[in-house]
């Protein structure tokens, strides 16, 4: 669409920025085979040959993935490896392979038509799942199908224009795609990219995850952008605003070059704060910890100067794979993080799975998954799975300071049940010859309003608390944070939300128990002063945000902030962030 008062040659499109930063370069447009797949009826006598043609293409696609996996470069992001295995397994899955042949046999569809039809059926099932990470796994099915379609059409897996750009070694290459499979990402990593842009995807899509690991700007969810942009068009990517400018004027280019230079300069300046203690103007020390999803991210957290890991989302070890990680595999993952952090606390959240996050072929469907058998409820209902994780956590705790964080606690009975499970895990380990001290603390996520309102017994009986603002806001405001139609009601600044945060912090403080915030609010530097005013002294966020938040901490006076914030809350007023500066 055109912006007012701009020439027709320049236009913009907005999506969702998933990696901050600016990029300027030329578009390299990847094709999407599924959009051009031929659809026609075959003769009955051609059924066997058509099924064989489909199976042969699927076999070749599977063999290609196996070959890619065997030749992975040393710097391959670890999250891609299990995804390649999932793609390989999908190619042998009867629900895809055999059911596609059913369409060939019963409806006389050609191979491409049969495959895309069944793929759409499977993808639709995933898209009904509430959890955003699993909902976006429909992309895995789509990417596998597009790979097979490319083979059926005789095309190469990566668009020809990318090969041309690769030979030119153009560092300003901006990849534009409908979506990018992990296998193609591996091939494309050999090319120096300035940014990624995709029509599909969200914050937890594979493209977003890999873009973060490569620390380059990315915008996803651009709709029909791939169809509208031309190969070689000059692009400006604004990862902060989630905006792409196509064929910008010289004036706009100059403006963004200045922004890009200023951003790089700011990053260099902020990096100098790495070893500066996070202490406010009135001498209050503040802990700045990191959120991680996968073990290797601990190194980036340590390098960023994190005071510890405030949230290790352990469920990511279980996702994107057909089986469950063993106790030994989990132990090695947790232990690696503990070792990297060199004595700093590592907070590991137990599995936040269930209902809408089915494992190992489970097909449980809850009426309202966000309120169903999930998180600690799921773990207590699956004691063998929970015991495996607890044993791994306890073993890792012998290497350093481990904090075990329980999600979605709502009753003291659940806390007691967790302690019993921990005692059982310790007893079984002792009986197997494990000696030494299990060096762990037990805490709970404050994300259910019930625990925030009646926080006292939890503060008394637990070692620490961590406020998960993402779900807390969702439950307080009765808003599905994944539903675009009501996202405007998802309000972290609502007085009710802030009062619950303040109440939790104040009551825990009276019992001498530490409290952290590990939701998106903690990493938003615009909210740092307000959270300090609420009494927060421990923030946990993506490692990339630590220096920005530290900068705000160093310039803050908590005494003044507490007075201003308390006055606004007592009057049930919305807090004016500008007045806190």
Binding residues for Mg(2+): 447, 471
Catalytic residues: 206, 518
Cα–Cα dist 568/564, whole Å: 6
Whether the CB-CB separation of 395 and 435 falls below 8 Å is answered with no
Instruction: Tell me the three state secondary structure of residue 500.
Output: helix
Whether the CB-CB separation of 296 and 80 falls below 8 Å is answered with no
- Residues contributing to the annotated binding site: 313, 349, 447, 470-471, 481
- Pick the closest to residue 292 from 529, 470, 545 (CA basis): 545
- Pick the closest to residue 147 from 222, 84, 190 (CA basis): 84
Structure token pair of residue 452: 């925030």
Whether the CB-CB separation of 13 and 222 falls below 8 Å is answered with yes
Cα–Cα dist 469/190, whole Å: 39
Whether the CB-CB separation of 548 and 525 falls below 8 Å is answered with yes
Sheet containing 243-246, strands listed edge to edge, beginning at the edge strand earlier in sequence: 11-14, 243-246, 234-238, 22-29, 173-177, 193-198, 218-220, 16-19
For residue 488, CA distances in Å to 242, 285, 477 come to 17, 35, 11
467 phi and psi, to 5 degrees?
-85, 115
Length of the chain: 581
- Residues contributing to the annotated binding site for phosphoenolpyruvate: 313, 349, 470-471, 481
Cα–Cα dist 375/313, whole Å: 12
- Dihedral over Cα of 349, 351, 354, 359: its sign: positive
């Amino acid at each position: 669409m055109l912006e007012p008062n701009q020439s027709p040659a320049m236009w913009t499109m907005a999506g969702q920025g998933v990696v901050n930063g600016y990029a300027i370069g030329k578009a390299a447009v990847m094709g999407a085979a599924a959009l051009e797949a031929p659809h026609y009826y075959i003769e009955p006598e051609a059924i066997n040959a058509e099924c064989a043609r489909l199976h042969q293409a699927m076999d070749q696609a599977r063999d290609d993935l196996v070959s890619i996996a065997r030749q992975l470069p040393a710097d391959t992001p670890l999250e891609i490896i299990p995804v390649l295995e999932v793609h390989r397994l999908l190619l042998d899955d009867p629900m895809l392979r055999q059911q596609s042949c059913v369409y060939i046999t019963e409806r006389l569809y050609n191979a491409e038509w049969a495959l895309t039809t069944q793929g759409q059926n499977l993808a639709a099932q995933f898209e009904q799942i509430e959890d955003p990470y699993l909902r976006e796994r429909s992309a895995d099915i789509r990417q596998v199908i597009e790979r097979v379609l490319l083979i059926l059409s005789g095309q190469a897996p990566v668009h020809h224009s990318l090969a041309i750009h690769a030979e030119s070694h153009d560092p300003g290459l901006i990849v534009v795609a409908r979506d990018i499979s992990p296998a193609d990402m591996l091939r494309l990593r050999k090319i120096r990219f300035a940014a990624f842009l995709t029509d599909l995807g969200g914050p937890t899509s594979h493209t977003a995850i890999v873009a973060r690991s490569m620390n380059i700007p990315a915008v996803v969810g651009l709709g029909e952008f791939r169809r509208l942009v031309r190969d070689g068009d000059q692009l400006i990517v604004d990862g902060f605003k989630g905006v792409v400018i196509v064929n910008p004027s010289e004036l706009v280019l100059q403006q963004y070059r200045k922004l890009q230079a200023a951003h790089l300069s700011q990053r260099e300046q902020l990096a100098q704060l790495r070893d500066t203690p996070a202490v406010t103007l009135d001498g209050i020390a503040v802990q700045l910890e990191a959120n991680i999803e996968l073990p290797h991210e601990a190194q980036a957290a340590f390098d960023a100067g994190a005071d510890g890991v405030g949230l290790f989302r352990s469920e990511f070890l279980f996702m994107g794979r057909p089986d469950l990680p063993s106790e030994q595999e989990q132990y090695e993952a947790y232990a690696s993080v503990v070792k990297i952090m060199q004595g700093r606390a590592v907070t590991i959240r137990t599995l936040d799975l269930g209902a809408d996050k089915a494992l190992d072929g489970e097909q449980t469907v809850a009426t309202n998954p966000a309120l169903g058998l999930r998180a600690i409820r799921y773990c207590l209902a699956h004691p063998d799975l929970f015991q495996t994780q607890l044993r791994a956590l306890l073993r890792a705790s012998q290497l350093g300071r481990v904090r075990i964080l329980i999600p979605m606690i709502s009753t003291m009975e659940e806390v007691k049940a967790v302690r019993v499970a921990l005692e059982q895990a310790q007893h079984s380990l002792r009986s197997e010859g494990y000696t030494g001290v299990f060096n762990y603390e037990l805490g709970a996520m404050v994300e259910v309003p019930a625990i925030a309102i009646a926080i006292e017994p939890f503060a008394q009986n637990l070692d620490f608390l961590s406020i998960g603002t993402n779900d807390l806001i969702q439950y307080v405001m009765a808003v599905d944070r994944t539903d675009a139609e009501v996202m405007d009601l998802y309000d972290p600044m609502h007085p009710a939300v802030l009062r619950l945060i303040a109440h939790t912090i104040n009551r825990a403080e009276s019992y001498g128990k530490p409290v952290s915030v590990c939701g998106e609010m903690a990493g938003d530097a615009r909210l740092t002063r307000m959270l300090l005013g609420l009494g927060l002294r421990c923030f946990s966020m993506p490692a990339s945000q630590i220096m920005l938040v530290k900068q705000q901490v160093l310039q803050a006076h908590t005494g003044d902030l507490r007075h201003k914030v308390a006055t606004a809350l007592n009057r049930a007023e919305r807090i004016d962030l500008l007045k806190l500066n």
